[in-house]
Structure 1
Amino acid sequence: MSALTEDQPTLSETATVLNSTSLRLDLDKPRWDQSTFMGRLKHFFNITDSRNSLYSEKELDDAKELIMRYKSCTEPPGTTEEQLYHAQKLYMSAFHPDTGDKMNVIGRMSFQVPGGMLITGGMLQFYKTWPSVVLWQWINQSFNALVNYTNRNAASPISNKQIGLSYVCATGSALVASVGLNSLTKTAPPLLARWVPFGAVAAANIVNIPLMRQQELLYGINLFDENGNEVGKSKRAAVKAVTQVAISRITMCAPGMIILPIIMEYLEKYPSFRRIKILHAPIQILLVGCFLCFMTPAACSLFPQKCSMKVSNLEPEVRKELQLKYGDLINKVYFNKGL
């Protein structure tokens, strides 16, 4: 799984500086065109691949080193395009785009399928009693809080106190929603009760993501021109980024949590299926995993990672500041929306 195969030169060998850079790859950008949904889908299928979570720390560090050396035209002789794209895949899946720091494994998008399938399967299977609801919603929101923090826009730091507040509020909202919805469905059709976990997860995401990224909403998100130069901050841009992330997260879990209960409700009409109760949870976990394998990259692809906004749509004070500094040179600004 190493970024370099055994028959290729190691990173410690003498580097070769290439004289021509005109045909070199731009490894700062995704491999596929990010202006189209299909281009984004290919990109996120690549970096949300669950197998990315299995690479060792050394292999990830080697991938980063190869990327850095290629950018400085000092990569080992014989380095192939395939090796570079493999290294880019590992780098983009494991290192934060803002800081370049290695992200924790559980918070990476490549861990969404194994982590999400276990937790969502548990929520869908054990939804009838309050203790089960409380336990699984707490586990889910702990996981979500870590994922939200890991994939935030790191240019806007958040304190431990704010992280704790976000965690408590998101977990509380999920519990209130799930317990409240459970009580309302006592006399409703069984299928409605099965949809309670989705209602709770959606409510928690609406609370969790804005709270985790409150610094951006309060003080603005960093704006850049098309060349990557920082030009200011905007609260309106932050609202757009946070809203898109919340929509993506809810979309990610919706098919599995809405369609799977219908499937289970149908299967449980058969006595033979009811007799194998011990397999109900593993079956749901497996089916959730099938949904997430596609929905994780699809939901991440709904909106471009490098989000844009017309200067005319920014706050009046931000527009005025940009006008004073740059005149009419900048018509559109860009920012990292997070995941």
Structure 2
Amino acid sequence: MDSSLLTQVVFGCQALEYRICRLCVNNMESDLSSFNIDAPRWDQCTFLGRVKHFFNITDPRTVFASEQELDWAKAVVEKSRMGLVPPGTQVEQLLYAKKLYDSAFHPDTGEKMNVIGRMSFQVPGGMIITGFMLQFYRTMPAVIFWQWVNQSFNALVNYTNRNAASPTSVRQMALSYFTATTTAVATAVGMNMWTKRAPPLVGRWVPFAAVAAANCVNIPMMRQQELIQGICVKDRDQNELGCSQRAAAVGITQVVISRITMAAPGMILLPVIMERLERLRMMKKVRVLHAPLQVLLCGCFKLPVSYLEPELQDTIKAKYGEQVLFAYFNKGL
């Protein structure tokens, strides 16, 4: 083949390849301009999808993201919402930006949250505090101090993740913090005195009893406005049906039970494990490692419409007839 002809063929192929690449890039950019960055990455109709979603937004590694990274993530998310995705942006970058944004910025106000109060700090923060509560349970000052630290941590988390649509007053939060701390300390101190003559393992379960008692007081106190005013219930198409106090009561009850249930495995089983480990000769020699080991080892709902208030049932039936069988509401975290 003639060299000039070969050259033309090569350059022609390169030009064609370039045009195809540019066409692909342009298509990708046009697709990204309509990319819904707020759409869940995984199917929220399945349990596994919801688990992946919450693991993603509570990833502890995002705690170490720099201020520059967080500001970049917020800018990317806001531009994407307006359909102004910067040229050359990849889908992976958008998803990562949304992950950082969800981990650090309040969903209602868009304000950057303090590090300790972020949900992404719950795993390391909870591990540390729970580990020390389980380790230092023998002396009264240690019990009081770590129960106070735990309730202060909970209060900061509740304040940081407060519902901006239904704000909690400073007085209400202070009262909730005081009652929860008092309940936790009183339960821990009282049970510590009661279990002095009990087997050592029973004493190790005192922190769990204190945490459970505090949750039974703290959450209803913090969300008492929901019990008074009710919470919004919707149909499956997200149309508002009204406000229900019964739905609020069900939601708060479930949150209390779930909080206690989530704490149970670590705070009930871990003391049994530590009780056995501390009998080993090696563990007796390295008591300084007991606390770090303890820390290391810690590691939408619907209601039938018939359950709602009679007046709310009448309102729903008058507007929608018998079509709406279930009402959906956010029970909270």
CA distance in 1 between counterparts of 2:247 and 2:90 reads: 39
Q: Which has the higher helix share?
A: 2
- The residue matched to 2:258 in structure 1 has which SS? helix
**Contact between 1:307 and 1:337, CA under 8 Å: does it hold in 2?**
yes
Q: 1:225 to 1:24 in 2, by over 3 A?
A: farther
**Contact between 2:57 and 2:120, CA under 8 Å: does it hold in 1?**
yes
Q: Partner of 2:265 in structure 1?
A: 255
Alignment of 1:246-285 (within 5 A): 246-285=256-295
Q: Which has the higher contact order (CA 8 A, sep 6+)?
A: 1
CA distance in 2 between counterparts of 1:102 and 1:315 reads: 38
Alignment of 1:95-244 (within 5 A): 95-244=105-254
Larger Rg: 2
Q: 1:74 to 1:310 in 2, by over 3 A?
A: farther
Q: Partner of 2:6 in structure 1?
A: none
Instruction: Choose from 72, 77, 82 the match for 1:67.
Output: 77
* AA partner of residue 194 (structure 1): R
Q: 1:189 to 1:140 in 2, by over 3 A?
A: same
Q: Partner of 1:333 in structure 2?
A: 327
How far 1:277 moved relative to its partner?
1.2
Q: Partner of 2:13 in structure 1?
A: none
How far 1:133 moved relative to its partner?
0.6
- The residue matched to 2:43 in structure 1 has which SS? coil
- The residue matched to 2:128 in structure 1 has which SS? helix
Q: 1:76 to 1:103 in 2, by over 3 A?
A: same
Segment of structure 1 superposing worse, 272-281 or 220-229? 220-229
- The residue matched to 2:131 in structure 1 has which SS? helix
Q: 1:120 to 1:129 in 2, by over 3 A?
A: same
- The residue matched to 2:92 in structure 1 has which SS? helix
CA distance in 1 between counterparts of 2:106 and 2:331 reads: 13
How far 1:269 moved relative to its partner?
1.2
CA distance in 2 between counterparts of 1:280 and 1:241 reads: 38
How far 1:75 moved relative to its partner?
1.2
Deviation digits for residues 309-328 of structure 1 (CA, Å, limit 9, x no counterpart):
33332211222233344445
Count of aligned residue pairs for this structure pair: 307
Q: Partner of 2:11 in structure 1?
A: none
How far 1:204 moved relative to its partner?
0.7
CA distance in 2 between counterparts of 1:227 and 1:74 reads: 29
Please tell me the root mean square deviation across aligned C-alpha atoms, in Å.
Answer: 2.4
* AA partner of residue 307 (structure 1): F
Q: Partner of 2:301 in structure 1?
A: 307
- The residue matched to 2:232 in structure 1 has which SS? strand
Q: 1:247 to 1:332 in 2, by over 3 A?
A: same
Q: Give the alignment's TM-score, normalised by structure 1.
A: 0.82
Deviation digits for residues 207-266 of structure 1 (CA, Å, limit 9, x no counterpart):
111111111111111234444454422112212222232233223322221121111100
Q: Please list every run of 5 or more consecutive structure 2 residues that lacks an aligned counterpart in the other structure.
A: 1-26
Report the identity percentage: 60
Q: Please list every run of 5 or more consecutive structure 1 residues that lacks an aligned counterpart in the other structure.
A: 1-15, 292-305
